[in-house]
Amino acid sequence: MRPAIATVCSLEAPLEAVLEDYAAGQVNAVDLWLGHVDAMVKAQGITAVRDRLEAQGIAAVAASFQGGLLTSQGEARREHWRQFGERLALCRDLGAPVLVVAGDAFGPLGEQDLSRLAASLVEAAKQAGDAGVRLALEFDARASFPNNLQSAVAVVEQVASPALGLCLDWFHFTVGPSKSLDLWLLTKDNLAHVQLSDIADVPREMAADADRILPGEGASPPDDLVSRLREIGYAGAVAVELLNPALWRVPPRQFGEIAMTALRRVLGQASM
């Protein structure tokens, strides 16, 4: 397992500063927040992002996230798929092997919607495979489908493409209808990326992104998940991902040091 930090944890700082400060805090792998990347590319170009990663000795282990691919229609769909093509090229150019795809099918879904969702993932996986990038479908506990690990595994198995795997976000696993027993569905073949956070001491039905805290410091420590990752020999990235506005104000260097220490402790790598 490769410990990483998602740059969204320091959303209020520009990506250039985040990378420099994370590197100073002994972070050598990041899950790139695409909003961060888009801003830096617009201002300085893709070469500047690649050069900054290389200069700081940081690997982009994933990019998060691409939305709107599953059930959107009309002009919105065309725009999302245009953006998807650009982001596949971006991942390829930055050496990011995984692109997280949001499971953002909300509202009532009919048979046509489910068919569109399946066809979208087949096409997305084909395009990703051609670009040398693997997609990681992230189920969302608030979505209509899939909103749990069991359903997400079934969707990925239905597509049956090596270019499509799962992104397991521990927050969505914990607050949604997933069960601990579902972790046995994870394999080293179907799991593409992991995002970790713990949850403040609130009922899980009421938990929001603002209640995400460092892994191992709240009411939902990911011990069962880490055990399963070891059992299957998972060798991919495990990234701390906190969409918590209170933590965005912590200086990136300080956050990177604290978050990496907490993550290594949870993964049993505290001495590394």
Type of residue at 93: D
What is the predicted pLDDT for the residue at 204? 82
Tally of CB atoms within 10 A around 127: 15
Q: Which tokens belong to 143?
A: 């979505």
Q: What is the CA radius of gyration of the chain?
A: 18
Tally of CB atoms within 10 A around 230: 12
Tally of CB atoms within 10 A around 246: 11
Across the range 250-264, mean pLDDT stands at 96
pLDDT at 269 over 90: no
What is the predicted pLDDT for the residue at 56? 96
39-66 pLDDT, tens digit per residue, is: 999 999 999 999 999 999 999 999 999 9
Query: What is the band of 272 on the pLDDT scale with cuts at 50, 70, 90?
Result: very low
Nearest 10 degrees: CA dihedral of 205, 208, 209, 212? Answer: -60
Distances (CA, A) of 68 to 6, 77, 152, 192, 230: 21, 7, 17, 20, 33
Across the range 111-128, mean pLDDT stands at 96
Rounded distance, CA 79 to CA 244, Å? 28
Across the range 184-208, mean pLDDT stands at 93
Distances (CA, A) of 133 to 34, 100, 151, 153, 218: 15, 10, 23, 19, 34
Query: What is the band of 270 on the pLDDT scale with cuts at 50, 70, 90?
Result: low
Q: Looking at 24-33, 100-109, 112-121, 200-209, which range is the least confident one?
A: 200-209
Classify residue 130 by its DSSP letter. Answer: H
What is the predicted pLDDT for the residue at 162? 97
Task: Give all domains of the chain, ordered by start, each with its CATH number.
Answer: 2-267 (3.20.20.150)
What is the predicted pLDDT for the residue at 107? 86
pTM of the predicted structure, to 2 decimals: 0.96
8 Å CB contact between 174 and 204:
yes
Give percent of the chain above pLDDT 90. Answer: 92
Give percent of the chain above pLDDT 70. Answer: 99
Rounded distance, CA 122 to CA 258, Å? 39
Rounded distance, CA 236 to CA 202, Å? 30
